[in-house]
Structure 1
Amino acid sequence: MPCRGRACPARGFPAKGRFPSGCGPHICGPYSLLKVEVNFMWFWWFMLLCDMLVPIVMVIVGRMMWKHCPKHINSLVGYRTTRSMKNMDTWQFAHDYCGKLWWKVGWVTTIASALIHIPLYHSDENTIGIAGLILVAIQCFIMVASIYPTEKALKNHFNDDGTRK
C-alpha cells in the first residue's frame, strides 16, 4: 500500500519526528493500530497463563498427593510439618486431606481466575498487570492458608504422639 506522501522510511522521507495518525516507522496506514492491539493481546494471553499457573499446579499436585502419597516419610517431598511426620498414619492422612483440599480449591480458583481475567481483555497493560499481580497474590495466600485446615484436621484425628483418637 502506498504511503500517500507522508513521512515514511520506505519512500525516503525521514523517520524522525512525529508521524501522522495511522502511520509509523515501516508501518503506514491503519496498520499501526493493529500492531498495538496485537501487543495488548499477547500480554493478556501471557498474564492469563501466569494467572492460571498456581491453580493448575494446585490441581495437579493435589491429585498426586491424594492418589500417590510418598511411600516413606522424608524431608524433601510431600506435606512436611511436625504433626504430619509423626508416623506413617499421620503422613498418609495429611497427604490425603491436603491433596483433596488442593484439588477442590485448585478447580474453584481456576474457574474464578478465568472469570476475573476474561473481562480485562480490552484493558490497558497496567490494568491487566496489576489485576494479574493481585490475583496471583490471592492464589498464593489460599495455597499457603490450606496448611491451617490440614493441621486442624490432623489435630482433631490424632493425639500429640501421633496415635489416632
Structure 2
Amino acid sequence: MPVVLRHNEQLELNIAEYRGSVSFTELKAVADFLAQNPSFLKSDCLSLVAPGADFVGVELDALDQLFGRYAKLYEPINFQIMRRSAWLCFSPAAQAHVDHWSGKRDARESMSTTLRQFSSYEEAGDWLILSEAETIALQTNAGFEELARFEDAPAISQTRAR
C-alpha cells in the first residue's frame, strides 16, 4: 500500500502515508484525487514516509513538475490563514526526495503553505498546534478516516506454455 490518504474532520488534518516503493504514477494519482476533492486542500497535513519506503523510480524533475501542478491546484483557493504541511521521513532511502520536495520550495507564496520537516511526531504535533492527546491520535490514526489508497498494480510476469 504505497500511498494512503486519511482525514480527521475534528482536527481539520490530513495524513498522507508513503509506504513501500512509491511510483510517480501513485504520486500523480494523489494530485488527481485532490484536484477532484479540493476541500481537502485547505486542511493542514502530515506527510509520513514510513521506514523502508523509497521513491527510487521518481526523477527529481518529475517532482518539480508535480509541485507546479499542486501550485495550480492551490491558486484559486482563498486561505484565511497559512496552511501547515509537516513532514516526517523515517526512511533514509527516501530522504533525498523528501529534502528535494520540502527544502527548496516557496510553498508559502504558491500554495499558502508552510512546509517543514521534523524528526518526531511530538515535534510535528507541536508545530501543528496539537495537544498531546491529538498527537497520539496522529501517531495511531485514531479518528482518521481513510479517504483514498493508491497503489500501482503489481506487474505479473506471464510465461507461455510449451
Band the TM-score falls in, shorter-chain normalisation: under 0.3
TM-score normalised per structure 1 = 0.19
Higher strand share: 2
Higher relative contact order (CA 8 A, sep 6+): 2
Higher helix share: 1
TM-score normalised per structure 2 = 0.20
Q: Is the radius of gyration larger for structure 1 or structure 2?
A: 1
